[in-house]
Amino acid sequence: MMSKRAIGVVLAVAALSLGACSTVSKIGSLNPIHGKGKRNAVIHTNRIPVIALNDQLKVADALKGQDFLLPDAAPLSDWPLPGGTPAQSVEHVDAAPAFAVAWRRSIGSASSRSKHVTAPPIIAAGRIYVMDGGATVSAHDVASGAPIWRVNIMPKSKRDHEGWGGGVAFADGKIYVASGFREVVQIDAATGAVGWRTRTDAPIHAAPTVTGGKVYAVDVNDELLAFDAATGTQAWTYQALTEPARILAASSPAVDNDTLVTSFASGELVALRAANGTELWNASLSKASRTNALSEIRDIAGRPVIYKSDVFAVSHSDVFAAVDLRTGIPRWTLPVSATTTPWAAGDVVYVVDQSGQVICVSRDSGQVYWIRDLNDGLKKKRRAYWSSPILASNRLITLSTHGDALALNPKTGATLKTLKLGSEALIGPIAAGGMIYALTDSAQLIAIR
């Protein structure tokens, strides 16, 4: 049976699930004008709407049975950010050819009614860094999973002991942690010693992105925050449209050179100058008309992916789009509802939708090569939710709330191998050093060789 966390991730929650109770109690804090004046407030004059989509998703007749180009698998030594790189894009990793469990380790507190394991693992310099459901960050040896250090970043104030969520990132020998306890924290990657701590006005439910000497994170009030990585001083902020209902998951920004692209619960996909937060363009990935309550959730909970001058992103409001990185104009859109992160490689981009369909799309035209329903034949109550995919050693891999790691043929969608993880998993896997790593709801870190 599916966990309450998994149901929450997919069905979404209203303002009461936004984070620490001290923040939720202040309904006014959902107002972008509430309290302190917001720096860099933006008047949205160049938002690009996406029109209503009425077509059914289907395989293009012209592409049925057609081959496409995928890059060769390449070794990758580190995975320092949630999506592997600042652009949140890794084409094809040489990892886990045997697709068998090498080892598993408990990292601490599992998901529960009040705690949620949400942080994707990261890898740097022979260590894998993780955060459990109780805000304990730990470092482990990548070869064996042996623990090296542990530090709990929960604030001492009892007022903030009911937050959850966040994530970790690595840069220049430091770990940067965003927290549901309304903090961003710097930790020494070698020792676990805390460097600086900076308070935020609202909880942060996703991992930060760190690049170019800055730390970028989005809080639950739909505000993008930029900090100086060395000192923790806030550099600038950007306020998007606030949304009272959102997915129980969150996104990390993508950065390419001086262009930063991030997504919000409002369904906005926004490009900014990374140096100062100046808005470049704003595209709204939401349908013009909606017919049910769930479609009112516009959240883009998956990470935007920058790949070959395009941004790929998918919203809960039934819009999967390729957006031109320079102009913000959608090149194509498809009627796909998802909370996962797309995976772009070669000629195609893959996405896993809410219903458990894996969809392979032509990156250039937006036409569909193939669709594989991973829940085909299952009754509604038995259907699993599936994670963001990863392409590794000529396998497209996704994890499920039924505790499966599934390897698919990336050209056809056919099942190549299934691996039992022993616990629900909804965080997408990562890969480095020839291994794939999965983190489950029960706080089990699993290495796949």
Whole-number pLDDT of residue 246: 77
| Category of 346 on φ-ψ map: left (φ > 0), alpha (ψ -120 to 50) or beta | left
Burial category of 34 from C-beta neighbours within 10 Å (exposed 0-12, middle 13-18, buried 19 and up): middle
**Backbone phi and psi for residue 29, each to the nearest 5 degrees, phi listed first:** -70, -15
Measured between alpha carbons, how far is residue 53 from residues 57, 288, 289, 336, 355 in Å? 10, 8, 9, 10, 18
Distance CA 73, CA 91 (A): 8
Whole-number pLDDT of residue 297: 86
* 447 Cβ contact list (under 8 Å, min separation 6): 101, 102, 103, 104, 142, 145, 435, 436, 437
How many H helices and E strands in the chain? Answer: 2, 33
Q: Is the separation of the CB atoms in 60 and 371 below 8 Å?
A: no
Beta-bridge mates of residue 226: 216, 236
State CA 390 to chain mean position distance.
12
**112-141: b (≥16 Cβ within 10 Å) or e:** eeebbbbbbbbbbeebbbbbbbbbbbbbbe
Per residue in 392-424, pLDDT (tens digit) is 999 999 999 999 999 999 999 999 999 999 999
Burial category of 269 from C-beta neighbours within 10 Å (exposed 0-12, middle 13-18, buried 19 and up): buried
Distance CA 318, CA 320 (A): 7
The DSSP code sequence of 378-414 is --GGGPPPBPPPEEETTEEEEEBTTSEEEEE-TTT--
State CA 227 to chain mean position distance.
20
Which portions of the chain are predicted below pLDDT 50? 1-2, 4-45, 47, 49, 51-53, 290, 292, 294
Q: Which one-letter amino acid corresponds to residue 87? A: A
CATH number of the domain located at residue range(s) 4-448 in this protein: 2.130.10.10
pTM: 0.89
Domain ranges of the chain: 4-448
Closest residue by Cα to residue 70 from 353, 389, 350: 350
Whole-number pLDDT of residue 287: 78
Per residue in 102-141, pLDDT (tens digit) is 999 999 999 998 889 999 999 999 999 999 999 999 999 9
Q: Which one-letter amino acid corresponds to residue 427? A: I
Whole-number pLDDT of residue 245: 74
Measured between alpha carbons, how far is residue 182 from residues 157, 166, 168 in Å? 12, 9, 14
Whole-number pLDDT of residue 407: 98
Distance CA 123, CA 83 (A): 11
**42-75: b (≥16 Cβ within 10 Å) or e:** beeeeeeebeebeeebeeeeebeeeebebeebee
Whole-number pLDDT of residue 158: 57
**Backbone phi and psi for residue 54, each to the nearest 5 degrees, phi listed first:** -110, -15
Distance CA 40, CA 35 (A): 15
Closest residue by Cα to residue 227 from 178, 269, 279: 178
Whole-number pLDDT of residue 96: 98
Beta-bridge mates of residue 408: 396, 415
Extended strands (E) in 18-68: 47-49
Tokens of 129: 């860094």
